[in-house]
């Protein structure tokens, strides 16, 4: 049996949350040794962080309980942009569209009212006049948040990785596919790689996406996480969809579904994806490429045809994965002493990664959670 490499703290998964935590701990210079293990070499397309861009919103339609976390994340994104000197956030604004009766739209307005956030509420005709790239009926409500915008995901992960690479305390180990996690009799845990390498620690954070639930199941921990194949695509578009003229958006259509999208950034094209629906997958199951499923293009094209008169032909499509809980809220907990799990972020998690790095980093470092994460404990799912 190989000797184990010891670190004071261990992070399994070097994606959005894992690298955010590593970056936070690297900045602390606390003297604790921290090792991040990833099966690949982030940023990559094997997790949930690829696709170049994500929206960040503050008037939150998924629930007012997220607003404080979103506000802290927003502050930390701007700090990161200032520290790196690179454009990581585009202040395009975000337009939330749907029937006035839609729960998402109602919650956006409620969040803005509760936290005194700037929000312009318009009918469909007013939206179409302000942003001619939309062709909307009058009964559609548009709730526009001017402070919101677009995060450049892969740039952010690259900057985090560079900063971790300069740290004396934090080490990123790539090509480390963890296949088993064991508890040690003396306390702490040992993570075992497919190639036989072993890494031991007193405290571990697992933020390993689709691999999280299978890794902790042998320890008697059941996490109700599901994996779903999702698609998104870039289309040709005219000047109405330039980053200066068109905001990021979310769209709730009671017939077609729930969608999100982005203006044409850096000439990549108009980007749109579907938030609901998708094809269930088992952990480790290969994903079909874009176009292999019969609905891949048609479910996006139907929105383009109905609402977006200046969007043209498909440029290219891609696939990604959501890892979800039954209620689609995050799952963050310490089910065993010294073992922190963080998952279920997909679909709306990346915007919070900067704040999660801070909160999870403190938890991993000190052993004490923060109140901001209490609502995400798994006991709520047991009650449900």
- Residues with active-site annotation: 50, 53-54, 271, 275, 320, 351
Q: By C-alpha distance, which of 150, 147, 151 is closest to 59?
A: 147
40 burial level (CB within 10 Å; 0-12, 13-18, 19+): middle
Distance CA(27)–CA(69), nearest Å, equals 20
Could you give the C-alpha distances from 149 to 146, 303, 379, in angstroms and in order? 8, 21, 33
Neighbours of 167 (CB within 10 A): 17
Distance CA(282)–CA(295), nearest Å, equals 20
Distance CA(293)–CA(162), nearest Å, equals 37
Q: By C-alpha distance, which of 352, 317, 349, 316 is closest to 229?
A: 317
CA angle 240, 242, 246 (to 5 degrees): 70
Cα radius of gyration (the chain):
21
What letters, b where the CB count within 10 A reaches 16 and e where it falls short, cover 44-76? Answer: bebbbbbbbbbbbbbbbbbebebbebbbbbbeb
With both helix axes pointing from N to C terminus, report the angle between 67-84 and 353-366 in degrees, rounded to the nearest 10.
100
């Amino acid at each position: 049996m190989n000797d184990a490499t010891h670190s004071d703290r261990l992070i399994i998964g070097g994606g959005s949350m894992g690298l955010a935590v590593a970056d936070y701990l690297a900045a602390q210079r606390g003297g604790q040794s921290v090792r991040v293990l990833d099966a690949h070499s982030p940023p990559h397309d094997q997790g949930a962080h690829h696709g170049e861009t994500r929206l960040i919103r503050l008037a939150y339609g998924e629930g007012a309980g997220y607003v404080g976390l979103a506000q802290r994340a927003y502050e930390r994104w701007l700090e990161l942009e200032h520290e790196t000197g690179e454009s990581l956030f585009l202040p395009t604004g975000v337009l939330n569209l749907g029937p006035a009766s839609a729960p998402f739209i109602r919650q956006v307005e409620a969040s803005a009212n509760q936290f005194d956030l700037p929000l312009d509420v318009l009918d469909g005709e007013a939206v179409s006049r302000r942003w001619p790239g939309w062709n909307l009926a009058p009964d559609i409500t548009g709730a526009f948040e001017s402070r919101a915008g677009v995060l450049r995901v892969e740039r952010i992960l690259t900057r985090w990785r560079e900063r971790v690479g300069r740290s004396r305390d934090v080490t990123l180990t790539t090509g480390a596919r963890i296949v088993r996690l064991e508890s040690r009799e003396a306390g702490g845990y040992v993570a075992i790689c497919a190639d036989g390498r072993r890494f031991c620690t007193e405290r571990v954070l697992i933020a390993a996406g689709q691999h999280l639930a299978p890794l902790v199941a042998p320890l008697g921990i059941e996490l109700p996480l599901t994996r779903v194949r999702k698609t998104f695509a870039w289309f040709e578009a005219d000047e109405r969809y330039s980053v200066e003229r068109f905001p990021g958006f979310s769209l709730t259509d009671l017939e077609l579904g729930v969608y999100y999208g982005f203006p044409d950034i850096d000439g990549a094209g108009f980007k749109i994806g579907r938030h609901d629906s998708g094809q269930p997958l088992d952990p480790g199951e290969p994903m079909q490429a874009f176009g292999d499923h019969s609905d891949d293009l048609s479910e996006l094209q139907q929105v383009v045809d109905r609402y977006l008169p200046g969007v043209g032909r498909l440029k290219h499509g891609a696939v990604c994965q959501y890892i979800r809980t039954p209620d689609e809220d995050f799952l963050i907990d310490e089910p065993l002493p010294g073992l922190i799990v963080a998952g279920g972020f997909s679909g709306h998690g990346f915007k919070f990664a900067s704040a999660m790095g801070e909160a999870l980093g403190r938890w991993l470092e000190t052993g004490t959670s923060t109140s901001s994460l209490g609502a995400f404990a798994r006991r709520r799912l047991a009650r449900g």
